[in-house]
Structures are given as C-alpha cells and as structure tokens.
Amino acid sequence: MRADQRARRDDFLNRIGAHPVVMGILNVTPDSFSDGGRFLAAEAAVAHARSMAEQGCAIVDVGGESTRPGATPVAATEEFERIGAVVAHLAGELAVPLSVDTYKARVAARAVELGAIMVNDVWGLQKDPAMPDTVAAAGAAVVIMHNRGEKDAGLDVIADLRRFFDRSLSLAMRAGIPDRHIVLDPGIGFGKTAQQNIEAIARLGELKDYGRPIMVGVSRKAFFGALIPDGLQRGTEAAPAGTIAVCLAAAAAGASIFRVHDVAEHVAALAVFDALRNRGVGGPA
C-alpha cells in the first residue's frame, strides 16, 4: 500500500467513533437485489460514487458480485473486470477512500493495488484461505462479517456471532493484521432468520467487549418492513424509512459504521441522532 493510501486508511479509521460513519454502496453488478444493473457502466458507477461522496459518506464500498441469496457466483476474473476501471478512476479523484466488497483474495489484492484502503469480506476471512495473508500484506483495513451457509432457527445468534468472530480474529492475528485495522459486522440478512436479524440488532451492545468498531448493513432489506404496522405504508426497497429506523437502533446499541444505499438521508438522520446523544455537540459524518 502506498503512503497516500496509508494516510487515507488511517484518517478513515480515526474518524470511527468520533461520529457515526456512513459507507455508501456502489454495486457494479447486474443482479444485486436493489440496484442491480444500474451502475454496470463505468461512467454511471463513477457518477454515483461522486454523488454519494458529495452527500456526506465517509467511504464508498465497491462490489462486483452480488451476495444476495440465490445470486450466481462469478469468477475472480469477471468480478475484477467489473470493478477494476471504476476503482482505478475513483481512487485517483474521489474525495473519500474506497473499500472493495469481496471475499476473494485475488480481487482484494488487485483492488488495493489500484487504491482501495479497505476490504469488506462477507465471509470474515474464512471463505478464501489466502484472504488473511492478502489483507495483512496489503496493509488494508478489513471488515469481518459474520455469515452462515444455512439458517438455523435454534441458534443463539449472539453465541454464533462470537464463535465466528473468534475464529476470524484468530486468523487475522496469525496473519498479522493489526487490531486497529479490523471492523466487525454481524451480517444482518446473511444466514439468519428474520427473528435472529432483529435480535442481533437489539443485542449488538453485547459485542462491544471485542473492542472493535461495529458496522451494520441493513440497507433496503425487506424483512424490516414487516415491522411496520398493518394499515401503514410498508417499507419497500425504494423507501429508506425502515433502514433509517434500524440504523438508528443499531447506533443506540453501539454500531458506528452504517453501510447504506441512501446516503443523504442516513447522513442527516445519524447527524441528528449524534447531536442529541451528545446534547447538541456533533455534526454529520
């Protein structure tokens, strides 16, 4: 990682905890559940990233493979072909740093070479055996997200999160990834029942003892719309109300990074939350 990237990485990590931090989602995919196909063209992807940066996100997360349930896996070569030009362009001009949303070490390494400063791994360093060493060698920050191959309604979700995180953190330690580079994500919507997703948000504070920042990614996920009472307009993928509500609940429980599609609305809502929490002292992330 170049010196300028290290400076951007450290600046981003230093922001976490001072105020809520918003991560803007940029899916360069044909099949993501909410915005698949919208930003496949490099010009559209770059324009959207610029817009999110102007709206106040602190980092843009670029992904080239949909991780929604039932999505078709893609090879590392194709995944990188989707995002490579976008990452190269944005790393040189965007006012905020870039994260790469991938569980493949080859894609992560090349994205960091082009200027990304963080790897957002939805399998928490456990899918690709080369990922821990790749992240360590690159000097990148990393999001370790909890995931499961199958849902199990009988699990205590927090106990399962702990088992997963303990293994991932052991892999990170053996590879030499510094503690200060690690963010934890409970993986809302990944291998969990609707009730487990809700419980994971409600009990998020039980993960504070790990001493790492917590990120949540609940943006436009339909199961939270089921919480809206009958007779009211239920949340849809186009309406951010449900996502904002869940992000505010997560912020109250201890989350500090929020991965969202609707950047402007979340920056505003979280700034108000932060100001109230600090009795009027605060501002947008």
**Boundaries of every domain in the chain:** 3-277
Say if CB 117 and CB 12 are below 8 A apart.
Answer: yes
Q: What is the pLDDT, as a whole number, of residue 36?
A: 43
Q: Which residues contact 203 (CB under 8 A, 6 or more apart)?
A: 157, 158, 253
Q: For 36-80, what is each residue's pLDDT tens digit?
A: 445 557 788 889 999 999 999 999 999 999 876 666 788 999 999
Please tell me the predicted confidence (pLDDT) of residue 142: 98
pLDDT tops 90 at residue 281: no
CB-based contact 124:81 (threshold 8 Å): no
C-alpha span between 263 and 226 (Å, rounded)? 23
Higher pLDDT, 280 or 254: 254
- Percent of the chain exceeding pLDDT 90 equals 75
Q: Is the pLDDT of residue 233 over 70?
A: no
The pLDDT of 130-136, averaged and rounded, is: 98
Residue 203 has pLDDT above 60, yes or no: yes
Q: Does residue 222 carry a pLDDT above 80?
A: no
For the annotated catalytic residues, the residue numbers are 221, 259
Indicate the pLDDT class of residue 35, thresholds 50, 70 and 90.
very low
* Lowest-confidence segment of 16-25, 70-79, 165-174 by average pLDDT: 70-79
Distance CA 33, CA 19 (A): 29
CATH of 3-277 given 3.30.70.120, 3.20.20.20, 3.40.50.170, 3.40.50.720 = 3.20.20.20
Q: Name the least confident of 35-39, 164-168, 270-274.
A: 35-39
Does pTM surpass 0.85?
yes
Cβ-contact 213, 16 below 8 angstroms: yes
The predicted pLDDT at position 37 comes to 44
Is 230 a residue whose pLDDT tops 70? no
170-180: pLDDT as tens digits: 999 999 999 99
pLDDT of residue 257: 98
